Amino acid sequence: MDINKNSILVVDDEAMNITALSHILKGDYTVYVEKDGLGCIEAAKELMPDLILLDILMPAMNGFEVIKALKKDDATKNIPVIFVTGLNNPQDEEMGFMLGAADYINKPFSAAVVKLRVRNQIQIINQMRTIHNISITDALTGIGNRRYFYTQLEQEWSRSLRQQTSLSFMMLDIDNFKPYNDTYGHLLGDMVLRETAQKIKLGLSRAIDKCARWGGEEFGVILPDTCIIGAKKVAERIRESIEKHPFMADEKTVTNITVSIGINCNIPKRESLYSLENFVSDADKALYHAKATGKNKVCAFTEM
């Protein structure tokens, strides 16, 4: 599979239609196929395609029932669906759009029409994705911004609450950043922020771990399913990698940067008054303690 290609799920109970649509689209997209409605729903959850081409007249579960199920599920509700069908009366087309279809292609279909209608939807998807990525990305460092990060933190807090798993949260602050800015200037200060962000990102070994710029010279890290021991190991790895990293002030001057890190770990409880805001506040307290007791160190709130 080419990860740079958009993906399309083709669902039709007629092998001839699947073959034809796959042949039309496979040069430009990664194409998956299913032969019935239940298979479509399962594949949509597993593969998360960018677009679904869905037949209406299928045995056991028709296309209208399938799109209803897709739109009810938070995981698949935003995947656009194009109906590809032999039903040509206005009432069926109206029903499809009422249920959330993005477009309609009538059978028998032409290759040119299929390509154009699919391309239009893919362009919309990619434009929306670009806008979304810009809105959640910190322009200076290239990692997530605070808005993105807090959304991720809320989701992981809820998941930990449901599954009763440990959630760890780290706050990192660059030590003595204002004097560095005053000495070397804002351009080099920005360079330090970018390189620090990349060292933090490289210090995370799992895809589920998230980092973002919290604000100013502060960064945040979310470590799902991670106890305090594991979080401290990650924090120490990041702290040490930044301490050892040479930050070039100019061609002849190497400067060193350190960070202080505060950690909090918790298993959320439904009956507890301890909220996500308390969780974040206590990580901030641990960070403040690390700064106040010498800097360039890791401090866990649970061990203060």
Which residues participate in catalysis according to the annotation?
217
Q: Do 83 and 100 form a contact (C-beta atoms < 8 A)?
A: no
- Cα-based distances in Å from 108 to 16, 27, 56: 12, 21, 14
Q: Do 30 and 8 form a contact (C-beta atoms < 8 A)?
A: yes
The rounded distance, in Å, linking the Cα atoms of 124 and 75 is: 19
The rounded distance, in Å, linking the Cα atoms of 255 and 294 is: 19
Residues ≥6 apart with Cβ < 8 Å to 106? 85, 86, 88
Q: Do 265 and 226 form a contact (C-beta atoms < 8 A)?
A: yes
Q: Which spans in the chain are helix H? A: 15-25, 37-47, 63-72, 90-98, 111-135, 146-163, 177-184, 186-202, 228-244, 276-292
**3-class secondary structure, 130:** helix
Q: Do 291 and 173 form a contact (C-beta atoms < 8 A)?
A: yes
Q: Do 45 and 19 form a contact (C-beta atoms < 8 A)?
A: no
- Phi, then psi, of 185 in degrees rounded to 5: 95, 165
Residue with tokens 């360039």: 296
**3-class secondary structure, 186:** helix
Q: Identify any residues that bridge with 251 across adjacent strands, giving them in sequence order.
A: none
Please give the single-letter amino acid code of residue 32.
Y
